Structure 1
Amino acid sequence: MSDSTESFEERLQRAKLDAMKELAYGASHEINNPLANISARAQTLLRDERDPERRRALEAINQQALRAHEMISDLMLFARPPRLDARPVDLTAVIEQVVAEVSAECSRRGIETLIDADGALPEIAGDPVQLAVAVKAVIVNSIEAIGQGGRVEVAIKRLEDVLRIEVRDTGPGISPEVRTHMFDPFYSGREAGRGLGFGLPKAWRIVTAHGGQIWAESAGDEGALIVIELPSGAGRS
């Protein structure tokens, strides 16, 4: 790839992020307040409502308002992520925590989760909260792509000066075009439940803020692999 092409892609990425920031700030100020009012009103009505059908309707209104608020929060995080609170991080512990958090949903869907960690892995310098958010976004993407019945395998290994996290699943494969745009929040052509919402773009934002890389691979018609690589000095800047 030539320097001129790299320069163009960098300018394009910067323009996208600038557009995302403008959208995020506008949505935060103009939409969050009405959403908060809708949620508060629905919760107030729920306290006195006894009719089951009306309760279900009010609960749905409240949940959708909260979901929209969460999407705006994700948009804000992607547009302007918080400063890294860097400290020594045990990535194996982060992965175990995330898998524990999604275990109930996996059980409900009949999805098996496996962790394969190399022994005596070094700690890295990073933000454990944000890294957990990134790893969870990738694992949730696999869970949603599988749907019902399947397996998610999470491996962590050391490769020279990086730690590599591999999240492999038995869901549908990923076409080359979708792999190219998996982490682009502006891309609307995602397939089979992969990459819907801001989960994967948010993971990309956090990983790159740590000086790492994230990409997707496909294992043919069935299964996908998402790889995160973090340098041993991640998050030191």
Structure 2
Amino acid sequence: MTTGTSAVAGTSASTPRTVVVTGGNRGIGHSIAEEFVAAGHRVAVTARSGEGPAGSLTVRADVTDSASIDAAFTQIESELGPIEVVVANAGITRDMLLMRMGDDDFDAVVDTNLGGAFRVVKRASKGMLKQRFGRILLISSVVGLYGSAGQANYAASKSGLVGFARSITRELGGRGITANVVAPGFIETDMTAELPETQQAEYKKAIPAGRFAQPSEVAKVVLWLAGDDAGYISGAVIPVDGGMGMGH
């Protein structure tokens, strides 16, 4: 584990760490990985396909498969050193109304979004316990607290991350390990850009800030929570939603 106190660009005297971002090949995960790379950290991303940002190590992994996660983390530890920060970001959606939602649609989303976070954090915690240091960041959603018609599976999986983080905090908080949840709202992505302008305007009416967030605005919050200055914050849910959910 790195024990130096040299400043890292973009942070307040934050120690360089070995960071893993799951689902870091696109969207918010890619932006989070970029932010950590720019701040001088050693960054690995896990992905089933695609690549992480320049300067990161991309490793193939499936968060629904414990053996796959173990192999990926073993490779990362071999190449970059003990994992100190893990960002559980990988997730999927299968949106549909409750009466039409099949068991497979519900199970797949929960197994990936919540079960995947469990597998990733369990594997990462082994090294963190030995080092008596760790930062666990779980990427949830405003939907997990606010609810959304047609997203019962997704909302349940993202809400579950809150109880997961708070249980980890009570279990591992005395070992120098923190666990926090970041709950983004609507983010400016290729997917939101494809929505009709009238639909985008309707969504923005529900956001006091009146706009969608940039992926980097989520990434900077994650970076700060992983840093030295956030060592006394654990079990928290940080909304990055322009006031849409206000923490609910």
| TM category, shorter | under 0.3
Greater strand fraction, Structure 1 or Structure 2: 1
Decide which structure has the larger Cα Rg and report it.
Answer: 1
TM-score, structure 2 normalization:
0.26
TM-score, structure 1 normalization:
0.27
